[in-house]
Chains A and B, each alone.
Chain A
């Protein structure tokens, strides 16, 4: 058999394997560790939302980070799991407590709901509507969002740190650290 013919034969392999190869890599951790990690992350987010605005008036607290980017609660520090990070890179005015509080409300609301994959970008909430696995196209992320908060974790136990997000109309593309690209749709009430 010629190599080209063999390559053709390989084209007929089980479709499930073809689909499987494009799935983002899964980080398997037990469910309770995952939820404990999520709860811990959210607790820190809430704590920061409450304390950060006071920092400017409380000299005992450390100086405000000039970049206004805060990366929070890496659960990898607290245990050996590969639980998701919650990243807060807020470029809004840190003194604007009402925005922070509103954001936290939205996050808690999501937490209570069924959706597991979610993201807040520029005060809009996006939830998982579908997943498209494809080659990483860097172009998508050239105009990536400067401000996003969230995590990604789907119902199949697939998760990953979000390290780039790009919003386009009511669709947001996120890139996970495991190479997967997930598409989320803006949440509509």
Chain B
């Protein structure tokens, strides 16, 4: 079933929307949740919550890229669950390592104390990503949006793991400088 039809089912409040979503994007969402959480049980719950959240947000939303829309919900829910899980102990997923990689980009001061316009920051990141080649951008997105492991990224792009790590280091450094130059002291 194509995406427009699935979205239409949500808009018509047809409950078939959920199984149709699960058939087409269940694995996609599960992969994201599993990358972040590292265990099937939590990942499955987050994916089920994704369907519920999609049901509650369509309408009014009519996403143009359904996969990214669903993936984003799963990602947010999984990150919330990750934070909850790690309040007591470290998570078993890829998230801990990836968040540590992002540590170099930020000051670790809560944004409540900083005055950062989040929309402007996203815009700046998008502009930065636009300057990268398609492959480098995708490597960055695979790592920091999908929370993919280095080995999976290396396999997907036909690179060595070391090559992927070096590329990610360089992109992070470039992003850091790019944001600093534009006044984003994170």
Binding site for B on A (CB under 8 A): 1-23, 25, 130, 132-137, 178-179
The answer to whether residues A13 and B108 also contact, given A4-B99, A19-B68, A135-B28 and a CB cut-off of 8 A, is no
- On whether the beta carbons of B145 and A2 are closer than 8 Å, the reply is no
Chain B contact surface mostly: helix
| Shortest Cβ gap from A110 to chain B (Å) | 23
**Cα of A1 to Cα of B186 in the assembled complex, Å:** 5
Number of A-B contacts (CB under 8 A): 120
Interface residues of B in 80-120 (CB under 8 A from A): 83, 98-100, 102-103, 105-111, 114, 116, 118
Q: Which of B10-18, B50-58, B152-160 contacts A (4 or more CB under 8 A)?
A: B152-160
The answer to whether residues A18 and B145 also contact, given A4-B99, A179-B156 and a CB cut-off of 8 A, is yes
Other than the given A2-B110, A12-B122, A25-B135, 9 more pairs (CB < 8 A) read A1-B114, A5-B106, A9-B125, A17-B141, A22-B67, A134-B31, A135-B28, A135-B152, A179-B156
- On whether the beta carbons of B129 and A2 are closer than 8 Å, the reply is no
Instruction: Find chain B residues with CB under 8 A from A178 CB.
Output: 156, 158
The answer to whether residues A9 and B122 also contact, given A15-B69, A18-B71 and a CB cut-off of 8 A, is yes
Question: What count of chain B residues pass the 8 Å CB interface test?
Answer: 51
At the interface, yes or no: B126 with Cβ under 8 Å from chain A?
A: yes
At the interface, yes or no: B76 with Cβ under 8 Å from chain A?
A: yes
In the complex, the 4 A-B pairs of residues with the closest C-beta atoms, listed nearest first: A135-B31, A15-B68, A21-B141, A21-B138
The residue that A13 contacts in the complex, of B105, B141, B186, with Cβ under 8 A, is: B141
- On whether the beta carbons of A2 and B118 are closer than 8 Å, the reply is no
Instruction: Find chain A residues with CB under 8 A from B27 CB.
Output: 134-135, 137
| Shortest Cβ gap from A107 to chain B (Å) | 28
- On whether the beta carbons of B102 and A7 are closer than 8 Å, the reply is yes
With both beta carbons as reference points, the residue of chain A lying nearest to B139 in the complex is identified as A21
| Shortest Cβ gap from A134 to chain B (Å) | 4
The residue that B137 contacts in the complex, of A3, A17, A133, A135, with Cβ under 8 A, is: A17
Instruction: Find chain A residues with CB under 8 A from B155 CB.
Output: 179
| Shortest Cβ gap from B60 to chain A (Å) | 17
| Shortest Cβ gap from B4 to chain A (Å) | 12
Contacts A/B (CB < 8 Å), 6 sampled: A2-B106, A17-B137, A18-B65, A18-B67, A133-B67, A135-B152
Instruction: Find chain B residues with CB under 8 A from A179 CB.
Output: 155-156
At the interface, yes or no: B79 with Cβ under 8 Å from chain A?
A: yes
| Shortest Cβ gap from A178 to chain B (Å) | 7
- On whether the beta carbons of B156 and A13 are closer than 8 Å, the reply is no
Instruction: Find chain A residues with CB under 8 A from B110 CB.
Output: 1-2, 5
| Shortest Cβ gap from A39 to chain B (Å) | 27
The residue that B99 contacts in the complex, of A3, A12, A22, with Cβ under 8 A, is: A3
At the interface, yes or no: B144 with Cβ under 8 Å from chain A?
A: yes
The answer to whether residues A25 and B28 also contact, given A13-B141, A17-B137 and a CB cut-off of 8 A, is no
**Cα of A25 to Cα of B116 in the assembled complex, Å:** 36
Instruction: Find chain A residues with CB under 8 A from B102 CB.
Output: 3, 6-7, 10
- On whether the beta carbons of B79 and A7 are closer than 8 Å, the reply is yes
The answer to whether residues A21 and B145 also contact, given A1-B106, A2-B111, A132-B24 and a CB cut-off of 8 A, is yes
- On whether the beta carbons of B72 and A11 are closer than 8 Å, the reply is yes
- On whether the beta carbons of A7 and B158 are closer than 8 Å, the reply is no
The residue that A18 contacts in the complex, of B68, B99, B118, with Cβ under 8 A, is: B68
At the interface, yes or no: B121 with Cβ under 8 Å from chain A?
A: yes
Instruction: Find chain B residues with CB under 8 A from A23 CB.
Output: 138
